[in-house]
């Protein structure tokens, strides 16, 4: 089923987003086995990403032939396990976290690409910069040594209100375009997961993070 699911998504996104930009498909591999991940890679998945540092550490050496990202909430005390080992950290949600990543980069003498997480829905349950503080936050992070801000990331609210989701995606795109026009080396606008990726790519997202759509439902009640 993984192969069929993946090929279906690759077909859906082959023409890019509404702006004809190519779409980066990120396979969200939380609770997915190494064998299943490598099977997906062998069938055309080029980027995989973990939500949890522990899972990344357990699997990373066994993943073959794909770029590895990190997409989950990241605690400052776990930064050392990712810096220099993942190609992109999507979820930089505070200046403090950026400072810790920068510090670890200097210690290891490496550079790290990051995305800045925006709490576009203003949800109390989610972290990230507010839309109002986003530009200042991004500019502050760009000043930190050895990290490169290459785009923005957001998690859309869980809602059936498609007009709201469209509007939030367009707000993210507007912010992305504004910052890019200011000279930032932006490549990724990471918005859209299994429940809402079609709306996201119809409204400016060029990076989607899909778990269930590719790998099927996972039992999140299993204790990790």
Q: What is the pLDDT of residues 84-103, one digit of tens each?
A: 999 999 999 999 999 999 99
**Residue 223, pLDDT above cutoff 50:** no
Q: What percent of the chain has pLDDT over 90?
A: 96
Reported as a pLDDT band with limits 50, 70 and 90, residue 219 is low
CATH label, 2-8+22-215, candidates 3.40.50.300, 3.30.2350.10, 3.20.20.10, 1.10.3720.10: 3.20.20.10
Q: How far is Cα 44 from Cα 170, in angstroms, rounded to an integer?
A: 29
| pTM: predicted TM-score of the whole model, two decimal places | 0.95
Q: What is the pLDDT of residues 42-63, one digit of tens each?
A: 999 999 999 999 999 999 999 9
Where do the structural domains in the chain lie, given as residue ranges? 2-8+22-215
The per-residue pLDDT for 125 is 87
- Name the average pLDDT for the chain: 96
Q: How far is Cα 189 from Cα 88, in angstroms, rounded to an integer?
A: 13
**Residue 175, pLDDT above cutoff 60:** yes
The per-residue pLDDT for 183 is 96
Reported as a pLDDT band with limits 50, 70 and 90, residue 104 is very high
The per-residue pLDDT for 218 is 75
3-class secondary structure for 58-121?
A: HHHHHCCCCEEEECCCCCHHHHHHCCCCCCEEEEECCHHHHHHHHHHHHHHCCCEEEEEEECCC
């Amino acid at each position: 089923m993984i192969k069929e699911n993946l090929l279906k998504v690759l077909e859906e996104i082959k023409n890019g987003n509404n702006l004809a930009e190519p779409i980066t498909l990120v396979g969200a591999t939380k609770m997915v086995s190494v064998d299943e991940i490598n099977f997906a890679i062998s069938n055309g998945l080029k980027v995989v990403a973990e939500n949890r540092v522990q899972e990344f550490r357990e699997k990373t050496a066994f993943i073959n032939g794909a770029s590895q990202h990190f997409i989950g909430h990241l605690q400052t005390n776990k930064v050392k396990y990712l810096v220099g080992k993942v190609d992109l950290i999507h979820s930089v949600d505070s200046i403090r976290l950026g400072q810790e990543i920068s510090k670890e980069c200097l210690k290891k003498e490496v550079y790290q690409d990051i995305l800045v997480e925006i709490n576009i829905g203003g949800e109390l349950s989610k972290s990230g910069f507010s839309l109002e503080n986003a530009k200042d936050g991004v500019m502050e992070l760009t000043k930190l040594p050895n990290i490169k801000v290459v785009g923005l990331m957001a998690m859309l609210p869980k809602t059936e209100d498609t007009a709201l989701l469209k509007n939030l995606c367009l707000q993210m795109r507007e912010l992305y375009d504004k910052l890019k026009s200011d000279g930032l080396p932006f490549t990724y606008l990471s918005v859209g997961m299994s429940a809402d990726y079609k709306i996201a790519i119809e409204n400016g997202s060029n990076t989607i993070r899909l778990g269930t759509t590719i790998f099927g439902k996972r039992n999140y009640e299993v204790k990790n």
